[in-house]
A and B are shown apart, each in its own frame.
Chain A
């Protein structure tokens, strides 16, 4: 068996969630590595879109920001940011939004705004950026996030972006017609929403991870599916491509 770490396991599993025909809005942070890994392995024709306006971008190294020149140079087209949010996102042209979070609840609601009270925050986070509308306008949402009790909480401090709201049909009550967070990929497992109540259920566990590990790293009461799969391990090829991508990225960012 090839040696890999839990972050690599998470990134490879997240990448595998994407299909070659997807049009994917890439959120800042962790999603970028997964989306580009998918493009460099099983989904060479995937359309990756960054909120800076770059459509169909194929960066050789991961961008530090969502507007690095590399994204524009390798894109099919670069449109104004107004057009990106109005025509492409709001217009319903994007099949998948890939997002990360600082805090997440069991219904896939996301907080990237504040820890603590909004007016008197313990930690002021960067804010929503594109996420509030990515979360409601893309066909479906994939979430990727390292699991911890601090991050996976019963109640998030601020609802930056809607998941399934209070569960059940709550999402639709806001006039939202898209599917919502259909998959949550962590460094320990994969979770998918309950068919009607919409709370996340563990459907696949990464090799070497126990149920207790997941319970210990989750702030809500974890539910497991009747049949829980074992997540397939990363292939040697996937690991090689991912490591080369990170090596190129580090060299590019440090060398400047």
Chain B
């Protein structure tokens, strides 16, 4: 399946979408396809919304963001996210804010078919005052006061992985974040992969893997996580994360960038970009 068809079939306006990746394996190519198809009113869920959500928000795709840490790690703010929250540009953005522990537990609950997640969290913290989706319950056995948040059940989970085999089984390696949980919690899932191999041989018995029947669409997009990284394939393009700070800090510059690199582009550009980065690194 092509990325264009996968997004067109699985993602509808108004959907709740979780595009996960904890710094590693962030599905940038899939995000760009969503922007190109001008999907609207999406609820975006992600523990660490970074550049790709900054782009989706700045391009006007999102109505709401559910998150626990929204920044450009080691660099600073996400300027498009801030502009949306602080000034409603390009449209108002509702936020539902959690802690990492809450979201990780909520994905786990979603994958486990539970209505909510229960954990030792938010003790003495102020988020419960501003987020009605954080409540406290009493343990029926010990009486201990515990935090509860609703399970995350996205319409669509979108993740990137290293490999699929011809049957569509998926292999993730390295920092695996909450990708497996997000896919299992979602109604539909799109997995972009670096490589498609004939079969998996010589892989560890417990390597994180999703069988083909647990995913909806598998798409071959080499370089599809760039400027994030794919362990074993390419490194994080930290220089681009730094450069994003300047691009995103100005509405016009951001619009030009999206027009040139997303609207006029396609999934094939990711492999080209990767080669350019590697040539530069070797030079």
Contact = CB atoms under 8 A, between A and B. Distances in A.
* Chain A contact residues, majority secondary structure: loop
B232 to A, nearest CB: 9
Most buried by B among A69, A125, A136, A171: A69
Interface stretch (B36-44, B174-182, B193-201, B259-267): B174-182
B130 interface: yes
B14 interface: no
A124 B121 contact: no
Most buried by B among A66, A71, A159, A256: A256
* Chain B contact residues, majority secondary structure: loop
Interface string B109-152: 00000000001111111110010000000000000110000000
Contacts of A64: 73-75, 236, 238, 241
Most buried by B among A82, A119, A130, A162: A82
A52 to B, nearest CB: 5
A28 B50 CA distance: 15
B237 A256 contact: yes
A81 B177 contact: yes
B281 A86 contact: no
A113 B131 CA distance: 13
A85 B100 contact: yes
B73 A162 contact: no
A253 B238 contact: yes
B97 A68 contact: no
Contacts of A29: 74
A255 interface: yes
B125 A124 contact: no
Interface residues of B, number: 57
A159 B125 contact: yes
B281 A256 contact: yes
Contact of B119 (A86, A126, A160): A86
A143 B121 CA distance: 20
Nearest to A65: B73
Interface stretch (B27-35, B52-60, B64-72, B158-166): B64-72
A121 B85 contact: yes
A228 interface: no
Interface string A159-198: 1111001000011001110000000000000000000000
A65 B68 contact: no
B239 A256 contact: yes
Nearest to A78: B175
B181 A80 contact: yes
Most buried by A among B73, B124, B181: B124
A201 to B, nearest CB: 21
A38 interface: no
B99 interface: yes
Contacts of A72: 24, 174-175, 231
Interface in B67-99: 67-71, 73-75, 77, 81-82, 85-86, 97, 99
A218 interface: no
B126 A86 contact: no
A256 B238 contact: yes
A252 to B, nearest CB: 8
Given A128-B127, A133-B101, A175 B145 contact: yes
Contacts of A176: 123-124
B165 to A, nearest CB: 22
A227 B8 CA distance: 69
A242 interface: no
Given A64-B241, A132-B101, A133-B101, 16 more contacts: A65-B73, A65-B74, A65-B236, A66-B73, A68-B236, A71-B175, A72-B175, A80-B181, A81-B177, A82-B108, A86-B108, A89-B101, A125-B71, A127-B70, A159-B125, A171-B124
Interface of A: 28-29, 51-54, 63-69, 71-73, 78, 80-82, 84-86, 89-90, 109, 113, 118-119, 121, 124-133, 136-137, 158-162, 165, 170-171, 174-176, 252-256
Interface of B: 22-24, 47-48, 67-71, 73-75, 77, 81-82, 85-86, 97, 99-101, 104-105, 107-108, 119-127, 130, 144-145, 174-178, 180-181, 208, 229, 231, 235-239, 241-242, 277, 281
| CB-based closest 6 A-B pairs | A67-B23, A162-B124, A126-B71, A65-B73, A129-B69, A64-B74
